[in-house]
Amino acid sequence: MKTKLILFILSTFCIFSLSTAFADDYVGSEKCFDCHAEHYNKWQASGHPWKLRKSEKAQYSKLPLPPGYSWDDISYVIGGAIKKARFIDNDGYIITTAKDGSEAKTQYNLEDGSWSFYHKGEKKPYKCGPCHMTAYSPDGHQDNLEGMIGTWAEDGISCEECHGPGEKHLQNPVKETIKKMTEVDLCGKCHQRGGTGPEPPASGGFIRHHEQINELKAGAHGDLSCIECHNPHERAILVQKNICAECHEDIAASYAETLHGKQDTECIECHMPKASKSAISVATYTGDVRTHIVEINTAADADMFKEVEKDGKKTTYAKGFVTVEYTCLSCHASRDKVWASKYATNFHENN
């Protein structure tokens, strides 16, 4: 008994010491506000800090809760900014049933106010590191909650997740004491599933969500950096700009004279269609996330997906192009692929 007590005290001391040392270099995003108020305020609205929030913050978002739950039963909310929200109970497990244990849809979809099943009825620990928090470590349990796998310095994707720990910069606020990272793989750490290879995983007729790096590398823009089109401090859907003309000036000029151009249909409507799905599909060929694959294969018989079998397991991947059902039929829903192929082939040359 005495030995167990000594071991418990030592292990507690070690955990405390490690967590203290772990957090020492990280000062928290609020410290950045004093000097970088504009960037801080844009980041607050970007969705990145919403990836994980304690319930005392999240409850002011006026999100509905799964059946039977009150905010007293919620420790954290996952997401809730743009696409969807999931909820974590007071033991750190993601809620997958109604409070009484009965079957219930527990993922709230912001775009249309619907609910979806999420790992229905499972006891689902929260193990979403490192993509929903800052300075993630797989060791321990955040807030000592059994279901929370790992520990971290700050909830959500904060300034220091991309710029590195800020203690030295706080003491000596010069450029040399903080990181300015522009590498694609920094974004790719989270905006991918199963690696940053150039084959985006797909399922159910759509590219899976958070595959932007895979899509980028699979397509014609594989050499571009994310920040060439996106301000990393702002919400991507707000700063997605029609900047294609900067590199494709002649095509953009001719396109402006077409029917689509005159009605202000932007390039991204066809070259970045909503062929990916995060929470819901809006229609048969319309998801809720734009793909970063820009090449269009206009052949009527082109298949955007391929199935690969390895070790007896079949996996579906998207190819390096989108097809006309996603680019044309998402608007022209009464038509078919043959019609779309006829008018889409050599579109820029014919118009």
**What is the mean pLDDT of the segment spanning 58-66?**
95
How far are the Cα atoms of 38, 159, 289, 322, 324 from residue 271, in angstroms, in the given order?
32, 31, 13, 8, 10
Check pLDDT > 90 for residue 53: yes
User: Confidence class of residue 240 from pLDDT cuts 50, 70 and 90?
Assistant: low
- For residues 53 and 146, membership in a common domain is answered with yes
Query: What b/e string do you get for 193-231 counting C-beta neighbours within 10 Å, with b at 16 or more?
Result: eeebeebbbbeebbbbbbbbbbbbbbbebeeeebeebbe
User: What is the DSSP pairing of strand 206-208 with strand 201-203?
Assistant: antiparallel
User: At which of 175, 207, 233 does a domain end?
Assistant: 175
On whether residue 3 sits in a domain, the answer given is no
pLDDT for 348: 83
Tokens read off for 274: 């909503």
Lowest model confidence (mean pLDDT) among 110-114, 190-194, 204-208, 279-283: 190-194
**What is the mean pLDDT of the segment spanning 255-283?**
92
User: Confidence class of residue 158 from pLDDT cuts 50, 70 and 90?
Assistant: very high
Check pLDDT > 70 for residue 212: yes
User: What is the DSSP pairing of strand 84-89 with strand 107-109?
Assistant: antiparallel
Question: For the chain, how many structural domains are there in total?
Answer: 2
On whether residue 17 sits in a domain, the answer given is no
The pTM of the full predicted model, rounded to 2 decimals, is: 0.86
pLDDT for 197: 76
Q: How far apart are CA 143 and CA 158, in angstroms?
A: 18
- For residues 278 and 241, membership in a common domain is answered with yes
Q: Which secondary structure element, helix H or strand E, spans residue 237, and what is its range?
A: helix 236-239
C-alpha angle 147-149-151 in degrees, rounded to nearest 5: 125
- For residues 196 and 224, membership in a common domain is answered with yes
- For residues 195 and 132, membership in a common domain is answered with no
pLDDT in tens, 10-31: 433 333 333 333 456 999 999 9
Give the bridge partners for 88, in sequence order.
76, 94
Sequence-ordered list of residues with C-beta below 8 angstroms from that of 130, at least 6 positions apart, any chain: 136, 150, 152, 189, 190
The percentage of the chain sitting over the pLDDT mark of 90, rounded to a whole number, equals 69
User: Confidence class of residue 309 from pLDDT cuts 50, 70 and 90?
Assistant: very high
